[in-house]
Amino acid sequence: MPLSQLILKNFRSFSSKELRFYPEFNFILGCNGAGKSSVLEAVYYTCYASSFRSANKEDMIKDGEQAFFIQATTESENEISIGASAEEKVVKINGHPATSHKEIASIMRAIILQQKDINLICGYNEDKKLFLKQLLYLQSDDANKQYAKLNKILIQRKTLLEQKKASSPEFQIWTEKLIEISQSITQAQKIALEKLTTIAKEIISTFTPQIILEIKFEENKYHNLQELRSTLEKERVLEKNLIGANQNCFEVKFKNKDAKHYSSRGEQKVIVFILKTAMLESTQIKTGAKKIFLIDDFFSELDPKNFGICLDILKKINAQKLIAMPTQDLEIKIQENL
């Protein structure tokens, strides 16, 4: 659900700040250090009670203060408020304590696009694995439970490996549980990524037909006991899990070649932008609710042509857009696209 108002108190550099938003485009402008990213962070924190910039609540408390407060109001007049200090965090919905993340997500969800998302093309597989996890979480209320169950199994199994108990019946039981949950999550990942790929190709065919993009799911192959035996010795030596749906990944190909090595920086950023836009669109189709697209200084390196492509795509998608970028940068890019 689109955001209509945001109130910040003692959050990052803001002592007190009130902002109002339009249903579609919102440009958050200013020089470096003005707090543009902090506004997006506050919106994201309201959705997930966590930050995309820091794992520590203390980092978000204004210097010299003991706690911060965020209050977000949606177009439908639902209100989410979060107060947090170093010791505790209180989340309320319409004045009542929130009972779960699912309850918050039913009111407001956001997707963040930032500079480091270029790692989906240029970085390591960990970034792609996290993307798959986020994609499932946005589309399914059960994804969090599934991943929590998976993590519990992985911890138990790793403990037994460290204790040199890989031959024990208990290890066998946890391995079978890992295979079972991994098969379920893997199937969900495949379906979600296929839908995202279809949407990404639709976007490309409309706006950037010169881009030939392929997204290939890469499944961790050790999903049955027979194949597992060949890698069990390696697990024993390394004392770490080498199987599980958390190991699944995907490859992005550009013109039938690895996008990491055979595309320009501008092309890579457009591809990442399309991936995140497709994530947004596929999530809205799945849940039927309008999402918030947070874009944190992502367009700064794009040339006029590629910026124009991204702007045209943003005009067509049905989402509330909050775009943080330097004032001068926006003025230049708009003039270049006139």
pLDDT tens digit string along 87-104? 999 999 999 999 888 888
* DSSP H/E element including 90: strand 89-93
Q: Domain total for the chain?
A: 1
pLDDT at 161 (0 to 100): 95
pLDDT at 246 (0 to 100): 93
Mean pLDDT of the residues in the chain: 90
Which domain covers residue 276, as residue numbers?
120-286
Indicate if the pLDDT at residue 333 is higher than 70.
no
Average pLDDT over residues 31-41: 92
User: Left (φ > 0), alpha (ψ -120 to 50) or beta: where does 224 sit?
Assistant: beta
**Residue 259 within any structural domain of the chain:** yes
Rg (CA), the chain: 22
pLDDT tens-digit map of 242-261: 889 999 999 998 888 888 88
- Which two tokens mark 15? 């002592």
Rounded Cα–Cα distance for residues 184 and 187 (Å) = 5
More confident residue, 221 or 201: 201
More confident residue, 329 or 126: 126
pLDDT at 227 (0 to 100): 66
**Residue 267 within any structural domain of the chain:** yes
**Residue 318 within any structural domain of the chain:** no
**Residue 130 within any structural domain of the chain:** yes
Question: Can you give the pTM of this predicted structure?
Answer: 0.91
pLDDT tens-digit map of 156-171: 999 999 999 999 999 9
What value, to the nearest 5°, has the Cα angle with vertex 310 and ends 290 and 74? Answer: 25
**Residue 90 within any structural domain of the chain:** no
- 198 CB-near residues (< 8 Å, 6+ apart): none
pLDDT tens-digit map of 104-124: 888 899 999 999 999 999 988
Indicate if the pLDDT at residue 302 is higher than 70.
yes
The 3-state DSSP class for residue 100 equals: coil
**Residue 49 within any structural domain of the chain:** no
**Residue 81 within any structural domain of the chain:** no
The 3-state DSSP class for residue 99 equals: coil
**Residue 272 within any structural domain of the chain:** yes
pLDDT-above-90 percentage for the chain = 63
pLDDT at 264 (0 to 100): 87
Average pLDDT over residues 259-271: 88
CATH number, domain of 191, equals 1.20.1050.90
